[in-house]
């Protein structure tokens, strides 16, 4: 047994949803002005279908809402009658087709589950059809051959039969928890107990809904009224309270609040849970929880700007790069697709040019560059030595250069480490490619500002 509430004009549907929620938890909001309710089982609480319809109508009048009510044995019949007939209409089970027979065929335009276009209704009218009863009496095979599968859907509705089951509308659920502290907290150790108290019930709710946390927002109200907010974007859905607490604690360790904490609020962005299918022939990878915790610990130990994946940047500085966050599974798929497209384009270009893809050599850079000592004769290096293990050094058999590069001379001077890694710091150097008597080919350079020599990389 189904009931349907319809309003003549499209307005805010919160009132209809409130009425539907009061009568049954199984209701579906099709539009702002149309709601269907599964009233099966209310006969024992309220009474027969006529009494259920009168109770719905009485509630509508009490709330001063202009709406129509229809009660029928099928959901499709209740939808059509509520859209076409004003007031209260109750159809006994089994009489849906007879009740729908007299309704105009134009009502098909208003049904959200199977909308009919104006052209289709015009075609049916050209056939001489005026009512749903005439459409229901047509042979299904001939109707499908002329109109297609949509014609069978219209005929099913005209006969009062359901096309799809009722899909209950679930209210938006917020995964959020707040606690007011009796005394301000300034250390992270007592704060971790508070985080555990908030995250455990949220984790249970996520597990019951088969959801995971795609992101976490932490709002800390500090002494003085200021709100300190931290956001964590997780690479994979996580719902373990211990893992979430560890990630939040490590993030606060790297970015501590400036004052004591009076209130703690945690809000989780839910996402569908992760589905993992292992195979018999490959070793299991570390779980996303383990990887997230490891990256968070590394970020707290080394700094957020020193953990991630190396990425090329728009700079003329030799060896310049930036650190980006490791991509998620979605980003990894997109980057893999783009990489395959680039490789295919390069391969096609090589084929069209009649050349083969041959990698001659590759430069393996030393990060940071290795300090060295060079002996210069006639402006060219003739011997290179270094104290770094693994670099034997020796006499220079052949050399090419120098190639002078410089840039960012307008920037401020920074530390040695920043001078070798940052793309924003100035540089001024002469580069050489040399071959030593140990058989290795190296790239070296002289820093013109400090007159020091370095090994920049090795050619493999």
Going from N- to C-terminal start, the domains of the chain cover: 2-158, 175-272, 308-358, 363-459
Please state, in angstroms and rounded to a whole number, the distance separating the CA atoms of residues 218 and 201.
16
Q: Which DSSP symbol is given to 445?
A: E
pLDDT at site 306: 73
Q: Using 50, 70 and 90 to split pLDDT, how confident is the model at 201? A: very high
Work out the average pLDDT over 87-110.
87
* φ/ψ bin of 224: left (φ > 0), alpha (ψ from -120 to 50), beta (otherwise): left
Specify whether the CB–CB gap between 53 and 67 falls below 8 A: no
Of 61-65, 82-86, 391-395, 409-413, minimum mean pLDDT range: 409-413
N residues, the chain: 460
Which CATH superfamily does the domain covering 2-158 fall into?
Reverse transcriptase/Diguanylate cyclase domain (3.30.70.270)
Please state, in angstroms and rounded to a whole number, the distance separating the CA atoms of residues 85 and 69.
9
Work out the average pLDDT over 337-352.
57
Q: Which DSSP symbol is given to 246?
A: H
State yes or no: pLDDT of 13 exceeds 50.
Answer: yes
Of the chain, the end-to-end C-alpha distance in Å amounts to: 77
Specify whether the CB–CB gap between 85 and 5 falls below 8 A: no
* CATH for the stretch 175-272: 3.30.1490.100
Strands 27-31, 68-72: pairing kind: unpaired
Pick the closest to residue 154 from 108, 197, 186, 222 (CA basis): 108
Please state, in angstroms and rounded to a whole number, the distance separating the CA atoms of residues 259 and 185.
9
Helices 49-62 and 14-23: crossing angle in degrees, nearest 10, is: 140
Output the pTM of the full model: 0.49
What are the tokens at 188? 């992270």
Residue 358: C-alpha distances to residues 286, 350, 351, 361, 399 (Å) = 36, 10, 13, 9, 24
pLDDT at site 43: 85
Specify whether the CB–CB gap between 62 and 22 falls below 8 A: no
pLDDT at site 264: 92
């Amino acid at each position: 047994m189904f009931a349907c509430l319809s309003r003549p004009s499209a307005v805010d549907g919160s009132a209809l949803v409130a009425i539907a929620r009061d009568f049954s938890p199984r209701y579906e909001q099709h539009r702002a002005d149309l709601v269907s309710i599964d009233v099966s089982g209310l006969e024992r609480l309220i009474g027969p279908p006529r009494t259920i319809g009168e109770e719905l109508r009485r509630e509508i009048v009490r709330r001063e809402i202009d709406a129509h009510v229809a009660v029928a044995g099928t959901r499709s019949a209740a939808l059509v009658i509520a859209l076409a007939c004003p007031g209260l209409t109750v159809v006994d089970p089994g009489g849906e087709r007879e009740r729908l027979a007299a309704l105009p065929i134009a009502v098909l335009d208003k049904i959200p589950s199977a909308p009919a276009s104006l052209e289709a209704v015009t075609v049916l009218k050209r056939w001489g059809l005026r009512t749903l009863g005439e459409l229901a009496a047509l042979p299904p095979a001939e109707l499908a051959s002329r109109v297609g599968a949509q014609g069978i859907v219209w005929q099913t509705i005209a006969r009062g039969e359901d096309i799809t089951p009722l899909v209950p509308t679930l209210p938006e659920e917020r995964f959020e928890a707040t606690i007011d502290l009796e005394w301000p907290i300034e250390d992270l150790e007592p704060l971790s107990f508070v985080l555990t108290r908030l995250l455990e019930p949220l984790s249970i709710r996520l597990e019951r809904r088969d959801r995971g946390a795609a992101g976490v927002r932490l709002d800390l109200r500090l002494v003085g009224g200021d709100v300190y907010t931290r956001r964590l974007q997780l690479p994979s859905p996580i719902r373990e309270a211990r893992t979430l607490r560890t990630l939040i604690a490590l993030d606060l360790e790297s970015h501590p609040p400036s004052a004591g904490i009076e209130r703690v609020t945690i809000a989780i962005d839910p996402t569908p849970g992760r589905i993992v299918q292992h195979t018999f022939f490959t070793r299991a990878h570390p779980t996303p929880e383990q990887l997230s915790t490891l990256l968070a610990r590394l970020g707290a130990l080394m700094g957020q700007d020193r953990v991630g994946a190396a990425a090329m940047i728009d700079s003329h500085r030799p060896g310049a790069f930036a650190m980006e966050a490791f991509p998620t599974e979605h980003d990894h798929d997109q980057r893999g697709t783009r990489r395959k497209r680039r490789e295919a384009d390069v391969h096609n270009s090589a084929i069209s040019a009649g050349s083969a893809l041959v990698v001659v050599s590759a430069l393996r850079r030393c990060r940071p560059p290795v300090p060295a000592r060079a002996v210069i004769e006639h402006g060219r290096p003739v011997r290179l030595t270094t104290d770094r293990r693994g670099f034997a050094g020796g006499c220079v058999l052949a050399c090419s250069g120098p190639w002078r590069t410089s840039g960012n001379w307008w920037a401020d001077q920074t530390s040695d480490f920043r001078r070798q890694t940052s793309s924003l710091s100035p540089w001024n150097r002469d580069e050489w490619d040399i071959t030593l008597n140990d058989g290795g080919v190296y790239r070296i350079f002289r820093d013109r500002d400090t007159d020091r020599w370095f090994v920049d990389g090795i050619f493999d």
